[in-house]
Structure 1
Amino acid sequence: MADYIDNGFEDPTIGTPTLGKKIWYFIQDTAAPVNSKAILPAAQTDGSTSIEGDSIDEQTKFGRVVLPSTNEDSIELTTYVVPGDQSVDIIKKAKHDGTQVKIWRVIVDKRFAVQEKDDTDPAKTHQAFPSMFGYGVVDSLDIDDGDDLVSADYTLNIIGKLTDGTFPLTDEQLSALEELSKFERPGETTGDFGTKVSGQ
């Protein structure tokens, strides 16, 4: 009799699922100079990433033949239009000019953070978060001027396929993201949301 082999299944993963609000999308004009920072589209409401593609599917006398054929990844993002936000202008310009846009989908969740060596100082490290990156061609940009808030919805068709990597974020940048929903006490700041100033 053959030796027993336990090849049933690996231990199940148990934990808290990732929240959609921890996923942030960043874009950049491909004409932006080297060392330029990415743009965080303001008031993101929905984002979806599609990993798709066609297959060759043929019937033969010997049975069905199925082979991978193409990658057709895409990212769709919906935001509200906020004064001073460059993202809609970047998307509109790329669509009109027939140019591309760089896009990153980043999981900004401390549970996924990794420490990476600093290229300028090997003694230092910085935190980075899992990301998918691609060059996108704007398929469409829809700006909805209804009775409610003005929204922008756009789809980027990815050239080739999305690639995995990491996206560095400093503590200050993480704080800026967290600031969007941060609790504050009376008298801590002055001014409307988005223009408020902290007290001394």
Structure 2
Amino acid sequence: MAYVDNGVETTKGTPTLGKKIWYFIQATSAAAGSKAILPAAQTDGSTSIEGDSIDEQTKFGRVVMPSTNEDSIELSTYVVPGDKAIDIIKDAKHNGHQVKVWRVNVDKRFAIQEQDDAEPAQTHQAFPAMFGYGVVDSLDIDDGDDLVSADYTLNIIGKLTDGTFPLTDEQLSALEELAKFERPGETTGDFGSDDLGQ
């Protein structure tokens, strides 16, 4: 027998932070051209790539074959006034609608430049994403002594598909920004209040 050594492959680097994974949703009834919704105050998210397999014993040994895809996404958020995400999930559950969902890795190390088909000289920043149509399995709203929280599970129809999600640096900054720097007397009112203004 000939000696074979094809070597090994290793990867070094800093792992991806969980806070760099953002989940976006959209109602399937949203008009074409509508914006995706970033659920406010996301605390946790998990993506399960699962499915059944056929596992049978025969006279000649075991037969194992893939059978179904059963992907799902679970999200946990705090309930924030004005956040459309909870209403989208609740409406989908009550009325039997599906929800579009994207899992996006916004770590700049993974950003790519995509060419604009309309203007080939221009490129746009995009991030790796998984997308699927989800059926709401459950929506749990916890009204305990602390912050009101919501947990929901989306069972994906078929399977999650890979693609990209465009986000400009300005959009990233706006989504990451909690409070911008301001000078004394520039605004009035509490942070997060509707009357915060000049």
Fold shared, TM-score > 0.5 on shorter chain: yes
Instruction: Structure 1 unaligned segments of length 5 or more: list them.
Output: none
% identical aligned pairs: 81
- Give 1:167 shift: 0.1
Q: Say which SS state the counterpart of residue 49 (structure 1) adopts.
A: strand
Q: What is the CA deviation profile of residues 151-191 of structure 1, one whole-angstrom value per residue up to 9, with x for unaligned ones?
A: 010000000000000000012211112213x6747639644
Q: What is residue 187 of structure 1 aligned with on the other side? A: 184
**Correspondence 1:1-200 to 2 at 5 A:** 2=2, 5-10=4-9, 12-180=10-178, 184=181, 187=184, 190=187, 191-195=189-193
C-alpha separation between the residues in 1 aligned to 2:44 and 2:52?
Answer: 26
| Cα 1:110/1:61, change in 2 over 3 Å | same
Letter in 2 for 1:20: G
Superposition CA RMSD, Å? 2.0
C-alpha separation between the residues in 1 aligned to 2:38 and 2:54?
Answer: 38
- Give 1:118 shift: 1.7
C-alpha separation between the residues in 1 aligned to 2:87 and 2:63?
Answer: 46
* Kept after mapping to 2: 8 A contact 1:189/1:197: no
| Cα 1:67/1:93, change in 2 over 3 Å | same
* Kept after mapping to 2: 8 A contact 1:103/1:133: yes
* Kept after mapping to 2: 8 A contact 1:188/1:198: no
Instruction: Structure 2 unaligned segments of length 5 or more: list them.
Output: none
Q: Say which SS state the counterpart of residue 126 (structure 1) adopts.
A: strand
| Cα 1:16/1:187, change in 2 over 3 Å | farther
Letter in 1 for 2:62: R
Q: Say which SS state the counterpart of residue 175 (structure 2) adopts.
A: helix
- Give 1:109 shift: 0.7
C-alpha separation between the residues in 2 aligned to 1:140 and 1:95?
Answer: 7
- Give 1:98 shift: 0.4
C-alpha separation between the residues in 2 aligned to 1:28 and 1:69?
Answer: 29
- Give 1:197 shift: 6.2
Q: Say which SS state the counterpart of residue 87 (structure 2) adopts.
A: helix
Letter in 2 for 1:160: G
| Cα 1:121/1:138, change in 2 over 3 Å | same
- Give 1:123 shift: 1.1
* Kept after mapping to 2: 8 A contact 1:136/1:157: yes
Q: Say which SS state the counterpart of residue 152 (structure 1) adopts.
A: strand
| Cα 1:194/1:61, change in 2 over 3 Å | same
Q: What is the CA deviation profile of residues 101-149 of structure 1, one whole-angstrom value per residue up to 9, with x for unaligned ones?
A: 0000000010000000123321111100000000000000000000100
C-alpha separation between the residues in 1 aligned to 2:119 and 2:166?
Answer: 15
The number of residue pairs the alignment matches comes to 196
